[in-house]
Amino acid sequence: MKADHMNERSLRRSDLAQATGCNLETIRYYEGVDLLPAPARTAAGHRVYSGQDVKRLRFIMRARELGFSLEDIRGLLGLGDGALRSCAEVKERTEVHLADVRTKIADLQRIEAVLSRTAALCTGEDRPDCAVLDSLRN
């Protein structure tokens, strides 16, 4: 598909999926939760998307990859849509999310340490008693 073709409002949903790597059901879902605007329709009733829809969907997908919730994404999209007043609001949302990510990392590191210690207790022998199971029971 040519780049200039992407600016026209002529992409089908399958074209949008192909252009972004997003599956069709996810596109429908994002439309249903109003992250993607309802697409325009041709006289025959076919949905058509634009290059702007491609950009918006890529933004949503990247934000999801970074762990932002749908509500966070809705807020981040708000800056581009004029709902948020400043980059400072986006930064604040991002810093809150970053703090959550750091908390999750710390939790995962604690889990990793416990699992590592527990696995080290296991002999791996073909016996009915198991140090791993014993540690989970305690």
pLDDT tens digits, 84-94: 567 888 888 89
Rama region for 82: left / alpha / beta (φ>0; ψ in -120 to 50; rest): left
Statement: 1-84 belongs to CATH 3.90.226.10: no
Question: Three-class SS of residue 62?
Answer: helix
Helix axes 13-20, 24-32, angle to 10 degrees: 110
Q: Residues 28-49: pLDDT tens digits? A: 999 999 999 999 998 999 899 9
Q: What is the pLDDT of residues 73-84, one digit of tens each?
A: 988 888 766 665
